[in-house]
Structure 1
């Protein structure tokens, strides 16, 4: 099988020739810059560049040599932009190693060593403290209350770090003829690679509420001011569907998978009851999936961290084809139970290795053994793409990364 065939076979719940693998196709299935530099040093790879395309999370695009080494089967179409050396500049990471930022991102170094980000109006929207490895949101437009109307919603959304500092290809979205250019570049990419193609489209709903209102306020609103929450979501849906229309028209016949995002769980349970999810959010999630499936050939992928077992059936009913990152360390997220109850109806993209206590702290042999166990559980009858539980973080030893991918390579599906 080609990489694209391997990915799509598994998404269609058919057994591929080997375990399909993702590293870096989304901002939640990749590797941080520090871990990437350490891996390259361990492998004695001294060429190329460590390019941080998601500046908020400090996540990099893996280079072709790494993709080939580990047998990665899917790539993010965003890599077709910012391809010139002049699109990047060097920066020093928290561990003293060198990486590159896109030229449009210019955080301000403070005397104490922290970094701040200001928008064009001078509002501080993000901060990376000394020694940290990602940026935190510092501005919440609706922290005090909802606005009287949503005439300025687009402007307010542009003050949120996740949108103001958005990763490629969306860092070019304001350019003239962006969608025509996107189509041209992605067509060329598809002709030049046999890997499956992924586009990240966001369309978050719960998360946008937390970005605008602040999470503590928005969680209370779900129970105490449901009408205001629903009004905000209606406004967001107008914008999300407009974006999806353009994406489906531009690349819906070229790209294989469209990634949505909405973190609905935490370690100990969901952020809300199942009933609140069903009445407030599920109808909109259903509409997003229906639009993509009706107007493109793309499969839909939901990134949702945490304990979401109570609503996985609802997510399937809403139309999602793929679930990521499959956080098996969270409450009620036992991998064997997930596979048994939902494995025939949704593809698990993740869950391949615990990034919280195994990949970063165990021995290479323990990492290898753990990874093989997860593959044995998830890979039965397809419906699985190997990925870690979220990104590979800065503290992960290179030897453990290599042990994990060796376990993937050694998994025998025949």
Structure 2
């Protein structure tokens, strides 16, 4: 997989995130123009990558946009639809028209209300699936979006279970998540929600991978 740009992050303006979020409300034409140029440059980069590697690449990271907090989305769904979604659509349309790649989006946090918009825009894969955030329970996600988007992540919570649970708790947690995310056809790639920190007990990491291997064979 290659790519990973950003539309919601402050690298658009090389300023602060709060300045950029304010611009989305107060200087909409300017924000659209900036994102449009950013997408133009990204498409040129994708063209060069495709010329170099062809379809040996299986997915393009359309964006690395942490669009949610622990409790909810950064933007209202209406503002997201108006300001951000059109640019995702352009990126996804280029990928699906000119390559056999899949489109991959990274976004931490509670992003439940954005998922149907991403699906409609053409996103194929969502990572990291922060299951400890509000409205991001595996049951809810699979009931509403199973078969419509691939969930790449969500296999093991890295905020509470992996660092602070017991090995058996980790195993049962991983088993349950694999069963839930595999309950409908459409795609699930196991990985823990986010990076494994240095103070996580080794026994818990071993338990996670052992459970993923054991129960992943049955999914």
Instruction: State the TM-score bracket (shorter-chain normalisation).
Output: over 0.9
Which whole-Å CA distance do the structure 2 matches of 1:305 and 1:205 have between them?
Answer: 14
Q: Please point out which of 13, 16, 20 is paired with 1:214.
A: 16
For residues 68-79 of structure 1, the aligned pairs below 5 Å read none
| Aligned residue number for residue 318 of structure 1 | 121
Question: Larger % of helix: which?
Answer: 2
1:385 aligns with 2:189: yes
1:276 aligns with 2:84: no
Which whole-Å CA distance do the structure 1 matches of 2:12 and 2:71 have between them?
Answer: 19
Post-superposition offset of 1:252: 2.9
| Alpha-carbon contact 2:6-2:12 (below 8 Å) kept | no
Larger Rg: 1
Q: Please point out which of 206, 209, 218 is paired with 1:405.
A: 209
Higher RCO (C-alpha under 8 Å, 6+ residues apart): 1
TM-score (normalised: structure 1): 0.50
Gaps of 5+ in 2: none
Which whole-Å CA distance do the structure 2 matches of 1:283 and 1:353 have between them?
Answer: 33
1:396 aligns with 2:197: no
| Alpha-carbon contact 1:209-1:218 (below 8 Å) kept | no
| Aligned residue number for residue 295 of structure 1 | 98
| Alpha-carbon contact 1:292-1:298 (below 8 Å) kept | yes
Write out the 4+ residue segments of structure 1 that deviate beyond 4 Å after TM superposition: 208-211
| Alpha-carbon contact 1:252-1:295 (below 8 Å) kept | no
Deviates more, 1:223-232 or 1:369-378: 223-232
Which whole-Å CA distance do the structure 2 matches of 1:208 and 1:214 have between them?
Answer: 5
| Alpha-carbon contact 2:153-2:192 (below 8 Å) kept | yes
Question: Larger % of strand: which?
Answer: 1
For residues 125-274 of structure 1, the aligned pairs below 5 Å read 198-199=1-2, 201-209=3-11, 212-260=14-62, 261-274=64-77
Which whole-Å CA distance do the structure 2 matches of 1:337 and 1:376 have between them?
Answer: 14
| Alpha-carbon contact 1:248-1:292 (below 8 Å) kept | no
Deviation string 1:169-213 (CA, Å, 9 cap, x unpaired) is xxxxxxxxxxxxxxxxxxxxxxxxxxxxx22x1221111456612
Deviation string 1:59-118 (CA, Å, 9 cap, x unpaired) is xxxxxxxxxxxxxxxxxxxxxxxxxxxxxxxxxxxxxxxxxxxxxxxxxxxxxxxxxxxx
Which whole-Å CA distance do the structure 1 matches of 2:78 and 2:168 have between them?
Answer: 43
Deviation string 1:120-162 (CA, Å, 9 cap, x unpaired) is xxxxxxxxxxxxxxxxxxxxxxxxxxxxxxxxxxxxxxxxxxx
**Cα separation, partners in 2 of 1:282 and 1:234, compared to 1, 3 Å:** same
| Alpha-carbon contact 1:323-1:348 (below 8 Å) kept | yes
Which whole-Å CA distance do the structure 2 matches of 1:286 and 1:208 have between them?
Answer: 20
